[in-house]
Structure 1
């Protein structure tokens, strides 16, 4: 976020646990937006409301592995 209130110290690691096959296109796009595209891939992302919202839209496809402060 440009206003400096992004909480740069907080990160969250997410892992893709299910395939987007036979899912709506918006769910596939959400996975790509999180930087995931294959099973068991992990990404460490800055913990922002935007990222949390994306994770909450596809909880059946990803899991939170680790949260750090």
Structure 2
């Protein structure tokens, strides 16, 4: 029997801490792509370069917590 490897995915928890009212439309779309809607909403995403790029683009709007 072959053992199945349980892949351990690192996740990133992202919280929207600042409103998107007075920011660029492109940044609003990035926040939406991260799965954040209202102020203080939290989204847990798989840690990948594309997600890190979105977070980096809107770093002034979100707070990041790394989790296992």
SS at match of 1:67: strand
- The corresponding residue for 1:40 is 40
Where 2:12 maps in the other structure, the secondary structure is strand
Q: Find the aligned partners of 2:8 and 2:48 in 1 and give their Cα distance.
A: 9
Report the CA distance between 1:50 and its aligned residue: 0.3
> Normalization by structure 2: what TM-score?
0.84
What is the number of residues matched between the two proteins?
Answer: 62
Contact kept, 8 Å, 1:8 with 1:46, in 2: the verdict is no
TM-score by length of 1: 0.83
Q: What's the Cα RMSD here?
A: 1.4
Instruction: Name stretches of at least 5 consecutive residues in structure 2 with no aligned partner.
Output: 1-6
2:27 equivalent to 1:30: no
Per-residue Cα deviation, 1:5-34 (whole angstroms, up to 9, x for no partner): xx7510000000000001110010000000
Within 5 Å, which residues of 2 pair with 1:50-65?
50-64=50-64
Unaligned runs of 5+ in 1: 1-6
